[in-house]
Structure 1
């Protein structure tokens, strides 16, 4: 089990905003974390990253909790946030070198991986540029490059397609599938349900800080008695039709 969350309750203060969250991710799975804004997706992710401390429950990455071996726990995962976070005083090349140091990669290994990714995202001629000269989409690609250089067991990707152009989206999806096929795992929080339905192995649907349903698309259809239903239709039915005008963006 790459990620195991058991009865996680927590939040930003003494008041819990997520309650008894439980799900797991096995090797070689892409899991879609689905829910409206405010459903608890970001709070759950921040607990996994160790940015918030659980009120109760446990989170394990490769069988280890963060307070047992913080360095190993963090090296076994990579996080790509919704909004790019870069250092304005560092060039793209320096971001790559910093990532290599953080994950304990030797320079030759890091740049062997980076050279390929730079070409994939069409940034190979911009390695000496600073982020101030990058568009939001380019900044997002830098985040993706740094994460995929690490080749961790678990990727946590929050709204990965925002800001990317169509070619960037296609390249990212290809990389995600490639990593899955190498037996690595991905937790993807997304509002784009049509894409999630095509590429995710299972889904965890959150609503009001709780797991509303989880499983494969077939398991969700069986639970809802909706054979052949799309993920959009299942989600709208589960949430009572909330956001029905956002059938592909919830």
Structure 2
């Protein structure tokens, strides 16, 4: 089957129900090599469900999901070796050292123990963490744990990267390094799904933005294209316009008034 130049992922009529709740409503989507996709939407819009289906973690859906030109229901698990994933909240094995955890993760993806260990040590060094490579992860700060997660998702040089709130806990310098890593991976043809509620970051890094609302894609294009179509200044304003959320000022005023109320 011809997927056209550089098509790496295709969703056709993707529909998902949880009981009587329609979570994904007949989604069609084609994604190409080298795109950094800002995948955004309110909580409960269906973002995580879409990603779990593409990762093969959620099997009960209707429609077709093709990755690397193959229907994932028929292709087995081999395609997962070419995918990296950072979930929003991951439970790291705290009793392991970073060396043990990253070597184990690398082996799961098909690297030899020696190769995984070698690459992991160097990558920890880039993030200035080589000194704690043999320390238990339980002794790490939140930001250090996040760096280990990022390394584990990239250790095997995946072709698609799914990132859910990936800069949680990172300091400003590390965020700058990570944004540059994504830009360089994209320029080499890697495809990145970046899901976050931090609109300024999504706006800056994404070559294409998908806004999911009530299980449907309600916007798809570059930031400039979305801004021209919606006559709004920032991605946050476009987001609020398209999802119908315009109560933030009133809610904030209510909150502050309650905080400042004299309770005596």
TM-score by length of 2: 0.85
Check the 8 A contact 2:146/2:170 in 1, yes or no. Answer: yes
- Partner residue, 2:237: 233
- Partner residue, 2:168: 162
Spell out, residue by residue over 1:160-186, the C-alpha distance to the aligned partner (whole angstroms, 9 max, x if none): 122222122122212111211111110
- Partner residue, 2:254: none
Tell me by how many angstroms 1:112 deviates: 4.3
Check the 8 A contact 1:84/1:139 in 2, yes or no. Answer: no
- Partner residue, 1:98: 104
SS at 1:7 equivalent: strand
**What's the Cα RMSD here?**
2.1
- Partner residue, 2:49: 43
Check the 8 A contact 1:30/1:188 in 2, yes or no. Answer: yes
Q: 1:120 to 1:244 in 2, by over 3 A?
A: farther
Check the 8 A contact 2:203/2:235 in 1, yes or no. Answer: yes
Q: Aligned partners of 2:206, 2:108: CA distance in 1, in Å?
A: 29
2:113 aligned with 1:123: no
Check the 8 A contact 2:103/2:120 in 1, yes or no. Answer: no
SS at 2:71 equivalent: coil
Check the 8 A contact 1:81/1:157 in 2, yes or no. Answer: yes
SS at 1:5 equivalent: strand
TM-score by length of 1: 0.89
Q: 1:54 to 1:216 in 2, by over 3 A?
A: farther
Spell out, residue by residue over 1:196-231, the C-alpha distance to the aligned partner (whole angstroms, 9 max, x if none): 11110001101122111111123223433x2x7322
SS at 1:2 equivalent: strand
Which shows bigger deviation, 167-176 or 14-23? 14-23
Q: Aligned partners of 1:117, 1:13: CA distance in 2, in Å?
A: 43
Match of 1:176 among 172, 182, 190: 182
2:58 aligned with 1:52: yes
Check the 8 A contact 2:99/2:121 in 1, yes or no. Answer: no
Contiguous gaps of at least 5 residues in structure 2: 1-6, 252-264
Q: How many residues align?
A: 244
Q: Aligned partners of 1:133, 1:16: CA distance in 2, in Å?
A: 42
Which shows bigger deviation, 113-122 or 29-38? 113-122
Q: 1:154 to 1:121 in 2, by over 3 A?
A: same
2:13 aligned with 1:7: yes
- Partner residue, 2:30: 24
Q: Aligned partners of 1:178, 1:105: CA distance in 2, in Å?
A: 23
- Partner residue, 1:149: 155
